[in-house]
Chain A
Amino acid sequence: MKRFVLKTYGKIVAWILTALGLYTSCDIIEPRVEYGTPTADFVIKGNVNDADNLQPIENMAVIRKSSWDPYGNDTARTDANGNYELNFSETAFGPEDMVVYTSDIDNGVYQSDTIRIKAHDLKQIGKRRKNWYNGKFEAKADFKLVRHPGPIPMYGIVPAEYKEIEEEE
């Protein structure tokens, strides 16, 4: 929370400085000569697999958590091969840290997982323009999900999967 507040405060200060026509030391902020909103496009791709058997998980929700959460969150679903692609635009001066997470909101079989993509891991795939558009950025985030253990009864055991017994030769 403290980090979020600080980052937001930093952005506001940068905005004010830029609006005032001042150059800041941050390399993603350039002097602006017009009034507008800096934006960038982002693509986050990846796949979602079962950590145990590495099989793809279909129809899993992958959510990009906006810095203005819950506003601006974006959700994609995995296809039959477990692949997903999130496309969204953001008010941004350039690459920023991104947070994506998966949540088994339909069945509750898998535990949620979160991946934080660092700004320097985003690859620029679209050029910046002279106006307020800062370009297009891409990153990859693969999830390996662990099944939810669920409460184990007091006298119970940890649930296990059925597996074929290998016959000895």
Chain B
Amino acid sequence: MNLKKKLILSLFQQHKATQSKLHTLSYLFWECTLRCNFNCVHCGSDCTRQSAVPDMPKEDFLKILADIRPQVDPHKTMIVLTGGEPLVRRDLEECGKAMYDMGYPWGFVTNGWGLDEKRLHSLLDAGLRSVTVSLDGYTEESHDWFRGKKGSWLRAVNAISGIVSTPGLVYDVVTCVNKNNIADLPRLRDLLLSLEVTNWRLFTVFPKGRAKDNPLLRLSTGEFRQMLDFIRDTRREGKINASYGCEGYLSDYEMEVRDTPFFCQAGINIASVLANGDISACPSLRGDYIQGNIYRDDFWTVWNTRYQIMRDRSWTKTGKCATCKSYKYCQGNGLHLRDEKTGELLHCHLEMMGINPCTQKKLANSTSLTNKTAILQTAK
């Protein structure tokens, strides 16, 4: 790593430390439903069509927004509706309008199935400001396999077209990179360019939910590097703003595949209210990361007095992190990548890149990991 990058990363640690102390809430997730019209192979929520957890009444969440309104600048507090699939909520427009009337900008993450022109316009009338649509394949076959629903690729592409042609609406397209679609990334990029998409976020699965035991989803070392190289080269081309998701410290790829250095903002700038009322940070942080429940605790008190586990990460210096030379920049990786019970790191991005965290040298078996992938692809 060159000296300039090291200097920036070191200075960025000061920024992170300051942000941890300030813990300004700027991003609030609401898991507004666990119901979903899809059956994605990677889903971290394990959501179903008829969820065991009923949708939270909108009034319960809106009360929190009203309560914290004097404490935050609502215009600078982004409300993000996630799920499940938010569009299955019939009162989504009512929720959005109420949030917007209180001064909060809001947006949601969707598979695009239910986002036709009519629905998009009714959501825009309710103050929708930002949308993220998932598109996981260049071909119908690979996207539909991943999403577990025939016809989903076409619907997603149509939704993306509608969003792109809406002036003033902020958006991005997200792609979960897996063994089935990695070879198609250049063609997928060209497809997005033909749709005039300007923002594209790529991410990889982490070992939770349904993805935990599916070998087709996790990239090998070679494939992971291939994806990072692809993102870096695409950014250099400058035709589309491609970036890797927020998780994971990426060593030499830092600031090459993302605009900013790695920073897990969970509990520092990000909170969430889960479907059952649990108060957490990113929705992927569940179990022992839960800080309270809106039906039992005051949200603002929880935000100000708890979350120590996320604001002081020194406890993460265990296991392989204890001797890692990159710990000062990484600080334990994304919290969702640590075991909720033991705190051990389940997924190290340096290892994913074939680097030994202790020595920072290439792992001896990184080549064989690549070969294993080749065998898997041949076997398919």
Contacts and interface: CB of A to CB of B under 8 A. Distances in A.
Interface of A: 108, 111, 148-163, 165
B260 A160 contact: no
A154 B245 contact: yes
Contacts of A154: 203, 245-247, 282, 284, 334, 336
Contact of A156 (B29, B127, B259): B29
Given A162-B74, A163-B168, A157 B259 contact: no
B284 A155 contact: yes
A92 to B, nearest CB: 26
Where chain B touches its partner, the secondary structure class is mixed
Contacts of A149: 259-260
Contacts of B246: 151-154, 156
Interface stretch (B105-113, B228-236, B288-296, B300-308): B105-113
A162 B336 CA distance: 30
Given A157-B108, A160-B107, A162-B104, A151 B130 contact: no
Interface stretch (B75-83, B138-146, B149-157): B75-83
Nearest to B260: A151
A163 B104 CA distance: 9
Contacts of B283: 155
A154 B285 CA distance: 12
B328 interface: no
Contacts of B266: 153
Where chain A touches its partner, the secondary structure class is loop
A36 B204 CA distance: 62
Q: Which of A154, A162, A163 has the most CB of B within 10 A?
A: A154
B170 interface: yes
Interface string B219-254: 000000000000000000000000001110000000
Contacts, number: 93
A165 B129 contact: no
Contact of A151 (B80, B170, B258): B258
Contacts of B100: 162, 165
Interface of B: 15, 26-27, 29, 74-75, 78, 80, 82, 100, 103-105, 107-109, 125, 127, 129-132, 168, 170-172, 199, 201, 203, 245-247, 258-260, 262-263, 265-266, 270, 282-284, 334, 336
Contacts of B127: 165
Contacts of B125: 165
B80 A157 contact: yes
Contacts of B132: 156-158
Contacts of A159: 26-27, 78, 105, 130, 170
Nearest to A161: B105
A45 B245 CA distance: 39
* Interchain residue pairs A-B with the least CB separation, the first 7: A160-B129, A160-B130, A160-B170, A151-B246, A162-B75, A157-B107, A162-B105
Contacts of A160: 78, 105, 107, 129-130, 170
Contacts of B203: 154
A163 B75 CA distance: 9
Q: Which of B75, B170, B263, B334 has the most CB of A within 10 A?
A: B170
A98 to B, nearest CB: 21
B282 A155 contact: yes
Contacts of A158: 107, 130, 132, 170-172, 199
Q: Which of A148, A156, A158, A162 has the most CB of B within 10 A?
A: A156
17 contacts: A108-B15, A151-B262, A152-B172, A153-B246, A155-B29, A155-B284, A156-B27, A156-B132, A157-B130, A157-B171, A157-B172, A158-B170, A158-B172, A159-B26, A160-B170, A163-B168, A165-B127
A65 B116 CA distance: 51
Contacts of A151: 246, 258, 260, 262-263, 265
B265 A153 contact: yes
A49 B282 CA distance: 33
B75 A161 contact: yes
